[in-house]
Structure 1
Amino acid sequence: MVPRAEFRDYYGRPVIKAPAWQARDIAGYFFLGGLAGAGSVLAAGAHATGRTSTATALKCSSLGAVSLATAALIHDLGRPARFGNMLRVMKPTSPMSVGSWLLAGYGPLAGGAAVSALTGRLPRTGAAATGAAALLGPAVAAYTAVLAADTAVPAWHDAYRELPYLFCASATAAASGMALAAGPVRENGPARCAAVLAAAADAAAEKAADRSLGMVAETWHTGRAGRLIRAARVLTTAGAAGSALFGGRSRAAACASGLALLAGSACTRFGVFAAGIASAEDPAYTVVPQRERTAARQDG
């Protein structure tokens, strides 16, 4: 067996610097932002179809999730003022800048929708806020994937086409799980359908990412990332199957399925985050694909 090649720069350091982001803050931010954004979309659907209890639960969960996500981001930044500084300019080519403005616009809308639903006051304003939050929801759920893929981290950048789809599917699974766990059984039909579709889309996006990543896909299937992503697959599949088979008949089954979907979505985000860190720390995942692409261009 030939030992694994070591790829380092002239100073004995890795080729790229691994992100200094903390997993609890940033992977948690990825998960909570997805739950908030997709939850607002499902909340608008529940609101429009008269599923009042589910709509209220989702509006409140979206407000709580976006509040915690913002707190996690600010904690990782180190000082609250740094978040405010990002709002001093609008740079459409920067995912971080666009994401900061998305959060700044989405948060008050989610808050208005939740407060109106809880108090029963200003129903027209609440309905307008619900609709506007639903319009921004997909962008809130997906932009973190663009943010990650815009870095030089191989496990994220090389899956830049598939990562937004994976994050959206994972976010939908989380939101449908919240609807199943918090809403009454008589109202959870759309959430059960969304859970099944999200699980299927999640699996398809993950397989597509595997094909795009090539050798870098190893980081998604080994170590801590591999354990988390395997757990995510099991939990998401079990949650979707449980909701489809038993969620419409049993409150306990609906709640258990919803919690499994939420846990599966969280494991997906933390697993993808861990894969990115692992790929940045091993120079082979940067150098070998670059050499393969260069050779392919020369042969072509």
Structure 2
Amino acid sequence: MTVTGQRRRRRGEQPVVPEAAFASYYGTPILNSPTWRALDIAGYLFVGGLAGASSLLAAGAGATARPALARTAKLGAAGAVSASLALLVHDLGRPARFLNMLRVCKPTSPMSVGSWLLAGYAPLTLTAAATDVAGRFRLVGRAATASAAALGPAVATYTAVLLADTAVPSWHEAHRELPFVFAGSSATAAAGLALVGAPAAQTGPARRMAVLGAALEVGAFRLMRRRMGLTAEPYERRLPRAAEALTVGGAVLAGLRGGRTVAAVAGAALLAGSAALRFGVFHAGVASAEDPKYTVVPQRERLDSRPREGA
């Protein structure tokens, strides 16, 4: 730049070349925005995680002779996985479409693996809850509870892999930490449900799960945003911030070991925080798909970071 150009720039004149605007041909997005319904799929993410972690809590409560806590967790898992299937089928439009996904098993497809997980997990949770309520076939109920607990971690986290396997920038770039975020969020949701529904005297495991789950969720989520760079911007919105505040507040209350009222408030905060996180993640992905800069800028940065030929 010449001396004259520097003087003009110091006088506040506008540069000749305008700043680049991130746009696409005819104003259409570079990526197709997800067509999933927010209430169906974000709700599906939430209740699926709640179900998987509740099965783990039910197995632990049964092993430590806490029958009321175990029953609450079993009923929660059965109800949550039923709601999960209902939301998924509603988004698909017809039940036959879910059944069609079971015609093949493709280990490299998160959707295929998730469909088979739900198909195997749902009967186990329903059996565990039904035998507990009826008070019969206890051996079958124990086997179903243990089997559901074995599948619980996969049910709670496979949706994170499903989202990260897409081309949506703010989902794909979160592939390293998002399963851990969902694991922590699932644990806080299951603990929250237990704190609301179980007697305070039996909620010790749920309180510990709430604290550990909150630490995992918040820690992994902050690490994820710090690593993602530009594509983390859509996560800086109200829902993710509210989710963190609710989760931390609920975990603190859960750790205080207060009375029934404190436990119920803590549980409600944890449930709301987990739901807010799932809806926040969903809307962040949609926003990143609709804005071209979240696709273009990271691609340019990756190209610039590669060593040039002959260098």
In structure 1, what is the Cα distance between the partners aligned to 2:219 and 2:21? Answer: 33
Percent of pairs with identical residues: 57
Change (3 A) 1:4 1:220: farther
1:158-191 Cα distance to aligned partner (Å, 9 max, x none)? 0101000000000000001111111111111111
Change (3 A) 1:294 1:53: same
1:240 aligns with 2:251: yes
In structure 1, what is the Cα distance between the partners aligned to 2:97 and 2:209? Answer: 37
Question: Counterparts of 1:81-100 in structure 2 under 5 Å?
Answer: 81-100=96-115
1:54-106 Cα distance to aligned partner (Å, 9 max, x none)? 10011001000000010000000011110000000001011000000000000
1:264 aligns with 2:279: no
Task: Name the counterpart of 2:227.
Answer: 212
1:128 aligns with 2:143: yes
Runs of at least 4 residues off by over 4 Å: 1-4
In structure 2, what is the Cα distance between the partners aligned to 1:277 and 1:202? Answer: 21
**Partner-residue secondary structure (3-state), 1:87:** helix
In structure 2, what is the Cα distance between the partners aligned to 1:126 and 1:265? Answer: 29
Unaligned runs of 5+ in 1: none
In structure 2, what is the Cα distance between the partners aligned to 1:276 and 1:32? Answer: 19
Q: CA deviation at 1:5?
A: 1.6
Task: Name the counterpart of 1:144.
Answer: 159
1:275 aligns with 2:290: no
> Do the aligned partners of 1:7 and 1:287 also contact (CA within 8 Å) in 2?
no
TM-score, scaled to structure 1: 0.95
> Do the aligned partners of 1:171 and 1:265 also contact (CA within 8 Å) in 2?
yes
Task: Name the counterpart of 1:64.
Answer: 79
Task: Name the counterpart of 2:296.
Answer: 287
In structure 2, what is the Cα distance between the partners aligned to 1:89 and 1:63? Answer: 26
TM-score, scaled to structure 2: 0.92
Task: Name the counterpart of 2:238.
Answer: 227
Unaligned runs of 5+ in 2: 1-13
Task: Name the counterpart of 1:164.
Answer: 179
In structure 1, what is the Cα distance between the partners aligned to 2:260 and 2:32? Answer: 48
In structure 2, what is the Cα distance between the partners aligned to 1:215 and 1:165? Answer: 21
**Partner-residue secondary structure (3-state), 1:298:** coil
Task: Name the counterpart of 1:7.
Answer: 23
Q: Which has the larger radius of gyration?
A: 2
Residue range with higher mean Cα deviation, 183-192 or 125-134: 183-192
In structure 2, what is the Cα distance between the partners aligned to 1:3 and 1:125? Answer: 67
In structure 2, what is the Cα distance between the partners aligned to 1:183 and 1:28? Answer: 24
Q: CA deviation at 1:146?
A: 0.3
Of 37, 61, 67, 2:52 maps to 37
